[in-house]
Amino acid sequence: MGIHGIARPPRPEPKATCPRCRRPVAVLKTGKCSYCQAEIPGSAVQTQVKAALPPELLLAFEPRAVTVSTRSKWIRRAIALGVAALLVAGVMALCMKS
């Protein structure tokens, strides 16, 4: 259940407003207002899920997410290289035929 909480965190509500300073809070990463640090009531569920998990587990998940993103970046580069190589090979094959 805890893993599901990490994989699919509750979406931040764009229309949530801070109860203290009445400013719209777009991202509720910490469950607190980014302007005055007041706690937002709507983000209480997300805060509870994070608090229920041990900090070591959260730390174990964060570096993995970074590695995946860098790996996908390299895969994308490899695919782009392969497509370029195929295009060059196709042009060369056409030139050799004629």
Residues near Zn ion, by CB under 5 A: 18, 20-21, 33, 35-36, 38
CB of 41 to Zn ion, least distance (A): 12
Q: Which is nearer to Zn ion, 37 or 72 (CB)?
A: 37
Q: Which is nearer to Zn ion, 4 or 22 (CB)?
A: 22
CB of 37 to Zn ion, least distance (A): 7
Residue 63 Cα distances to 13, 66, 68, angstroms: 26, 5, 9
CA-derived radius of gyration, the chain: 23
Burial 36-60 (b: 16+ CB within 10 A, else e): eeeebebbeebeebbeeeeeeeeee
Q: Which is nearer to Zn ion, 41 or 54 (CB)?
A: 41
